[in-house]
Amino acid sequence: MNLTEAVHRFASYAESFHDSPTAYHMVGAVIRNLVAAISACELDGIERSCILREIAPARAIHSRSPFVKRLQDWPRGYPGDWETVEWLISQRNQAPSGTFEHCLETHLLGCLMAQQHRNKVVHQMQLIFNAAFVDPAAHTRILIVASGAAPDLRQLAVPATKTMSAFVLNDSDPTAIEAARQRLTPILDRCTFVTGNVLALTSRLSALGPYELILAGGSFDYLDDRAATLLCRVMLTKLLASDGMFYFSNVARGNPYRYWLEYLADWKLLERSENDVRSLLEPCRNYISEVSIERDATGISMLSHVTRNGKEGPQKSRTTPRTVP
């Protein structure tokens, strides 16, 4: 099926849509046909601008979905913002029931690409639990970079009142930091909130460390190799304690949802292979004792765990983490 025909079928079905027991599957079929046609065009060397012109009617129909509209416009000014992540976690369909766009949102919020976001939150929550709760008496320091509204930590907020661990949350978006602050009320006395670009805040974050666990979440999906290598160097040489763990995720090469994300939404992610990730870490090899890379259950995201060796690391600060603007 060529692209023109796929767009026509998608638009025709959307405009004649009526809810029925088969509607969910029919919507899935026209989405898959459309994305398959887009991918064939790209593989044939057709320029992105030409593809976008051809699929304009399909993009306009997609924008009737509140969720997709957000992915096309990015109202916070940057892709992957914390409110979008919260939407993915909640899976709350905000389109009118019984409509094409409601069915479309059901597909998108339930797909593997959305599920990998939820999987990563659970994985980070488990890492926090292992570091801070296995031994409640441990004075573990944990840094969460690109924290958003802290969906991982806030699920542990009530039991965290019984730990001696301290948490430093960093995000460049002040609205994300405020949202995290509001959701972490039970453990505000254990938290420090630092707003700004993590690479410009090394001295401030170092004064609150070093950290036995640093979580960088999906930051690497948006960082080119130069910035990603620099972030690894800062984390491993300036902020991570000896024998501490630095964790980050990255969408793996061959992501089957890339064509939909880039053409029907406007969400570009920098995909990498396992070898690519290891290359980012290579300049810091003298500080690393172990690198473990696994996939989440969907197979879409690589979960990287980097352990700093036992050589003398940054010295522990006397500063007690506290809530700051």
Q: What sign does the CA torsion over 291, 294, 300, 301 have? A: negative
The reply to whether 323 falls in a domain is no
CA–chain centroid gap for 120, Å, is: 8
Distances (CA, A) of 172 to 65, 194, 196, 219: 28, 9, 4, 11
Burial of 305 (0-12, 13-18, 19+ CB in 10 A): middle
User: Could you give the CA distance from residue 50 to residue 81 in angstroms, rounded to a whole number?
Assistant: 28
Q: Considering 47, 76, 110, which residue would you say is the last residue of a domain?
A: 110
Please give the chain's pLDDT, 325 residues, in tens: 799 999 999 999 999 999 999 999 999 999 999 999 999 999 999 999 999 999 999 999 999 999 999 999 999 999 999 999 999 999 999 999 999 999 999 999 999 999 999 999 999 999 999 998 877 777 899 999 999 999 999 988 777 677 889 999 999 999 999 999 999 999 999 999 999 999 999 999 999 999 999 999 999 999 999 999 999 999 999 999 999 999 999 999 999 999 999 999 999 999 999 999 999 999 999 999 999 999 999 999 999 999 999 876 665 554 444 444 3
- Asked whether the beta carbons of 321 and 166 are under 8 A apart, the reply is yes
| Domain span at 47 | 3-110
The answer to whether residues 133 and 99 belong to one domain is no
For 279, phi then psi, to 5°, come to: -65, -35
| Residues 6+ away with beta carbon under 8 Å from 213 | 127, 128, 131, 132, 140, 141, 142, 143, 244, 245, 247
User: Could you give the CA distance from residue 114 to residue 289 in angstroms, rounded to a whole number?
Assistant: 33
The answer to whether residues 130 and 104 belong to one domain is no
The answer to whether residues 143 and 207 belong to one domain is yes
The reply to whether 54 falls in a domain is yes
The reply to whether 205 falls in a domain is yes
The per-residue pLDDT for 282 is: 96
The answer to whether residues 294 and 174 belong to one domain is yes
The answer to whether residues 106 and 124 belong to one domain is no
The answer to whether residues 148 and 58 belong to one domain is no
The reply to whether 317 falls in a domain is no
The answer to whether residues 138 and 281 belong to one domain is yes
The reply to whether 238 falls in a domain is yes
For 133, phi then psi, to 5°, come to: -120, -20
The count of structural domains within the chain is 2
Taking CA 46 as the corner, what is the angle to CA 42 and CA 47, rounded to the nearest 5 degrees?
100
DSSP 8-state secondary structure symbol assigned to residue 263: I
User: Could you give the CA distance from residue 153 to residue 175 in angstroms, rounded to a whole number?
Assistant: 17
The answer to whether residues 275 and 289 belong to one domain is yes
pLDDT tens profile 34-62: 999 999 999 999 999 999 999 999 999 99
User: Could you give the CA distance from residue 310 to residue 243 in angstroms, rounded to a whole number?
Assistant: 5
The reply to whether 63 falls in a domain is yes
The shares of helix, strand and coil residues in the chain, as percent rounded to the nearest 5, are: 50, 15, 35
The per-residue pLDDT for 157 is: 79
The answer to whether residues 127 and 77 belong to one domain is no
The answer to whether residues 168 and 301 belong to one domain is yes
Helix (H) or strand (E) holding 275: helix 274-281
The reply to whether 316 falls in a domain is no
For residue 183, give the amino acid letter: R
The reply to whether 320 falls in a domain is no
The answer to whether residues 76 and 171 belong to one domain is no
For residue 120, give the amino acid letter: K
Dihedral, 118, 136, 243, 296 alpha carbons, nearest 10: -20
Length of the chain: 325
User: Could you give the CA distance from residue 190 to residue 122 in angstroms, rounded to a whole number?
Assistant: 21
Q: Considering 110, 145, 168, which residue would you say is the last residue of a domain?
A: 110
The enclosing domain of 162 has a CATH number of 3.40.50.150
pTM for the model: 0.92
User: Could you give the CA distance from residue 251 to residue 152 in angstroms, rounded to a whole number?
Assistant: 19
The answer to whether residues 94 and 210 belong to one domain is no
